[in-house]
Structure 1
Amino acid sequence: MDLNDIIFGTDSMPWWGTVIRVSILYISLIIGTRIMRERQVGILSGHNYLVAAGIVSLAAVRMVNPKSSLYEVVAIIFSYALVNTFLSYLDIKFPRQVDRIAIPLMVKGKLIRKNLDATHITIDNLLAQLRLKSITNLSEIQEIYLEPTGKVNALTKPAAAPPTKSQLNIPVTPPRFPEVVIYDGDVQEQSLARSGLTLQWLENEIAAAHPGKSTDSIFLAIVETNGTLYISTGQAAQP
């Protein structure tokens, strides 16, 4: 067994040769995905899906076939990536010619049966997608579109839209992400600083919620979006 056998394949491949081949193919897949950039992962258009399915199937077959040539599969992977990158570029320049466009399923509150039939979306499918968006009544919807990614988006009628806090003159605080300030007993000082809080404040909150406990005995503490502190010791409450 030598390097040529690993690259060009052989009838009998030892386990360590298989490990090397799989590692090379895996690294090639990662590089190919990086070439295709985030669009490949985040937005699956028609050609993106075909490329992803083709690359995965090809890599799986070659990984288990000891007679296959690594040169061929690596060349095919990068060819797939380059073709997909070129098609994505054309999709940006000429989106309506290369990729699909959003299909209206409802316009001005009226369902378009022709488009529902063409996209093979049943009423049950449509209602299920709307429930995922917390929409239960078709009468409250102005427009519905089937996006090129396969997702359904809906625009509710102005009269059915809930009022905003600004319309109700309710004071609001600037939005922020939750910050983990303690994890497994370790205080995350950078998270505390981003939240504008101090270690003394954190210790006081822990003492008030769990008398006798210190930061070392806390499994998880999170400053939530509304400024409250969630504390967990990682142990079930005593009955």
Structure 2
Amino acid sequence: MPLWLEVVVRTLASALALFVFTRLLGKRQISQLSFFEYVTGITIGSITAYLSVDVDNHWSLGLISMGVWFLVSLGIEYLQIKSVKARNWIDSKSTVLIKGGKILEENLKKEKLTNDELLEQLRKKSIFQAAQVEFAVIEPDGEINALLKKEYQPITPSSLGIKVAPEQETQTVIIDGNIMDEPLATSGYSRQWLHTELEKLGVSLDNVNIAQVDSFGQLYVDLYDDMIQVPQPQERATLYAQLKKCEADLELFALSTDETEAKQMYGECSAKLIGVINQMKPLLTQ
């Protein structure tokens, strides 16, 4: 076999073996690396590279070495799952860096971090003042997570005591100008409805790059032709305006009638509708 062809075969075989081993080790190998997994990845990658071009040694030796590293890594992962002590020793524990707005310098030195690096990581999370942080830790994978003090946290419906309905998954109903029937059916709509909505927007199907339907039945469209401005869905805003109009009409009816019973009825209906509007406002105006 020519030398160049042997290198090609070795490279393809090494790449295939590396892909298989990585798949067997799981997604954690590429998402949250521990210290050992980091070393394992470098070592197996180096072995794969040498296996591709080192034609003086038999290819099976490289595969055996890769297999041993794979089994060791698999055993370490199994040990981490079964033992908390082993997991803490291999992955290490989270370290508190900020507590009550105070930077813990000793823990910062322990993790080999500078103040500039800490502030940089906080800025990546849109936190520009360390004093606003109630609690910050560095995770075993090196990620820094921070909890803002109560007064600096964003306002949510829960903090206001407002209950909101669960939002369903947004369904992508058109991709590359092709209608996706399964997501469309999951949303509870048909092709006829979709064509009608596209006609309302004044766009053709073949010009649609992506179209999605949210949990409120609103259709969002991205076109290939970026020069065309597609109007934003107004269903929720329209519904909110109609509810406000109905409430205003009820108040007007209550003021314009002289009958006591009718005035009371219109007033009660208006009060109930105001309650409904207040409950629906977070959903209809977001």
- Determine if the TM-score, normalized by the shorter chain, exceeds 0.5: yes
Q: 1:177 to 1:148 in 2, by over 3 A?
A: same
- Whether 2:91 is the aligned partner of 1:99: answer yes
Q: CA deviation at 1:51?
A: 0.2
Structure 2 equivalent of residue 82 of structure 1: 71
Structure 2 equivalent of residue 65 of structure 1: 54
Q: CA deviation at 1:147?
A: 0.7
Opposite residue 120 of structure 2, the aligned amino acid is A
Structure 1 equivalent of residue 31 of structure 2: 42
Structure 1: distance between partners of 2:44 and 2:152: 46
**Preserved CA contact (<8 Å) 1:108 1:143:** yes
Q: 1:238 to 1:154 in 2, by over 3 A?
A: closer
- SS of structure 2 residue aligned to 1:85: helix
CA offsets 1:127-166 (integer angstroms, 9 cap, x no match): 1111222222222211111111001011222232223213
Structure 1 equivalent of residue 181 of structure 2: 189
Opposite residue 32 of structure 1, the aligned amino acid is F
- Whether 2:205 is the aligned partner of 1:219: answer no
Q: Which one has more relative contact order, counting CA pairs under 8 Å at least 6 apart?
A: 1
Structure 1: distance between partners of 2:14 and 2:40: 16
Let me know the Cα RMSD of the aligned residues: 2.2
Q: CA deviation at 1:54?
A: 0.8
Q: CA deviation at 1:225?
A: 6.2
Structure 2: distance between partners of 1:215 and 1:121: 53
Identity in percent: 31
Q: CA deviation at 1:170?
A: 4.3
Structure 1: distance between partners of 2:215 and 2:117: 34
TM-score normalised by the chain length of structure 2: 0.72
Q: 1:96 to 1:238 in 2, by over 3 A?
A: closer
Structure 1 equivalent of residue 150 of structure 2: 158
TM-score normalised by the chain length of structure 1: 0.84
Identify unmatched segments of 5+ residues in structure 2.
230-286
Structure 1: distance between partners of 2:103 and 2:70: 39
Opposite residue 37 of structure 2, the aligned amino acid is N
Tell me the matched-pair count: 226
Opposite residue 214 of structure 1, the aligned amino acid is S
Structure 2: distance between partners of 1:101 and 1:122: 19
Structure 2: distance between partners of 1:64 and 1:175: 54
- SS of structure 1 residue aligned to 2:40: helix
Q: CA deviation at 1:227?
A: 4.4
Structure 2: distance between partners of 1:70 and 1:181: 49
- SS of structure 2 residue aligned to 1:168: coil
Q: CA deviation at 1:186?
A: 1.2
- SS of structure 1 residue aligned to 2:141: coil
- Whether 2:3 is the aligned partner of 1:13: answer yes
Opposite residue 103 of structure 2, the aligned amino acid is L
Opposite residue 212 of structure 2, the aligned amino acid is I
Identify unmatched segments of 5+ residues in structure 1.
2-11
Q: Tell me which moved more, 17-26 or 74-83.
A: 17-26
Q: CA deviation at 1:19?
A: 2.8
Opposite residue 126 of structure 1, the aligned amino acid is L
Q: CA deviation at 1:65?
A: 2.8
**Preserved CA contact (<8 Å) 1:35 1:82:** no
Q: 1:171 to 1:229 in 2, by over 3 A?
A: farther
**Preserved CA contact (<8 Å) 2:10 2:51:** no
Structure 2: distance between partners of 1:90 and 1:192: 45
Structure 2 equivalent of residue 174 of structure 1: 166
Q: 1:123 to 1:157 in 2, by over 3 A?
A: same
- Whether 2:45 is the aligned partner of 1:53: answer no
Q: Tell me which moved more, 189-198 or 174-183.
A: 174-183
Structure 1: distance between partners of 2:89 and 2:36: 13
Q: CA deviation at 1:118?
A: 2.2
Q: 1:217 to 1:160 in 2, by over 3 A?
A: closer
- Whether 2:237 is the aligned partner of 1:237: answer no
